[in-house]
Chain A
Amino acid sequence: MSDEHEGIDTLRRAIDDLADRLPERHPRRRTWAVSWAAVAAGVIVAAAIATYRFLPRPVSPASLGVEVKFLRVRGLDVEVRVFEAARAGTVVIAPAIDRRDMQRPVGVLVGSEGGLR
């Protein structure tokens, strides 16, 4: 019987020895937790930036650096908001009136000398 318990007693002694030397909690998990927290924070920031960049937003003339100019249309001077050029040789304008729903940009050609037509 004692022979049969020899192995289990050896195992028990070794486990007791090992258990006494183990720390309360290994610091590795904390490092991992910090790493995961950093990764999670990065993902959240990236998602926020992507949302900000790609979600459709209402176009507001004021958000595009507006300059108000007068444009002669059929003999009348019309006040318009002039936006940055979408591509070379063009600008985008919108009627300069107070109603926000009317402040949608519309395209207009610009001559090579830079004047509005």
Chain B
Amino acid sequence: MTSPDLVRLALAARAGRGVEEERLWEVVRPRLVRIALSLGVPAADVPDVVQETLFAAHRALGRFDPGAGSFEGWLGTILVRRARNLARSRCRRWRILELFRTIGLPVAARSPQALDRLEARLVVERLLGCLSVSQREVVALNEIGELDAAETAQVLGLTPAGVRSIARDARRRLAEEARRPAGTGKERS
């Protein structure tokens, strides 16, 4: 579905047509899942983050202004904010758990999930691990989410030239990491 089609669907949904809104979320969901994964959101948390993004978008749909940017960009902004919040809360949680471990309190390990064993998850983690946070965000929106440089720049508060430059560096890094045999490179978070 092209960007103008999405805007038309969004405007119809905004006008209060329930069927159009259902269809709208159905269409955008797969792309949001891919963007969330490439932002570095853990696979087990992606369905929740996407669901929360869609819920926030549903509540704010009345404020969507097609003149201010594309619908994908508008959704991307919500998703990036949610992913950043999740990363912050995970960081806080991790610090608290570390504190618990330091003082000797037992901390239950996360239950193993089927996703943890997936080869694809390991590949995604390894490749994203070689990127900085800003590179991940640019790759997620510009490359995976297929927003153009101007839209990506608007979402992330950068300039289009900055987005292109960051994307170029990120592609180079990813290419190097992809050529390197798994387990031999240094990963960054």
Contact = CB atoms under 8 A, between A and B. Distances in A.
Q: Is chain B a partner of chain A in the same complex?
A: yes
Which applies to chain B's interface (DSSP): helix, strand, loop or mixed?
Answer: helix
B45 to A, nearest CB: 8
B17 to A, nearest CB: 23
B128 interface: yes
Interface in A23-43: 23-26, 28-29
A8 B172 CA distance: 9
A19 interface: yes
A18 B173 contact: no
B121 interface: yes
B175 A22 contact: no
A22 B43 contact: yes
Contacts of B37: 15, 18-19
Which applies to chain A's interface (DSSP): helix, strand, loop or mixed?
Answer: helix
A7 B47 contact: no
B14 interface: no
Contacts of B179: 6-7
Contacts of A29: 48, 51
A9 B44 CA distance: 23
A7 B174 contact: yes
A98 interface: no
Interface string B123-154: 11001100000000001000110000000000
A109 interface: no
Contact of A19 (B34, B143, B173, B178): B34
B174 A18 contact: no
A5 B172 CA distance: 8
Nearest to B180: A7
B127 A10 contact: yes
B139 A14 contact: no
Contact of A5 (B43, B45, B144, B171): B171
A8 B143 contact: yes
A34 B15 CA distance: 34
Interface of B: 30, 33-34, 37-38, 43-48, 51, 115, 118, 120-121, 123-124, 127-128, 139, 143-144, 168, 170-179
9 contacts: A7-B179, A8-B174, A11-B143, A11-B144, A14-B123, A15-B120, A18-B118, A19-B37, A22-B43
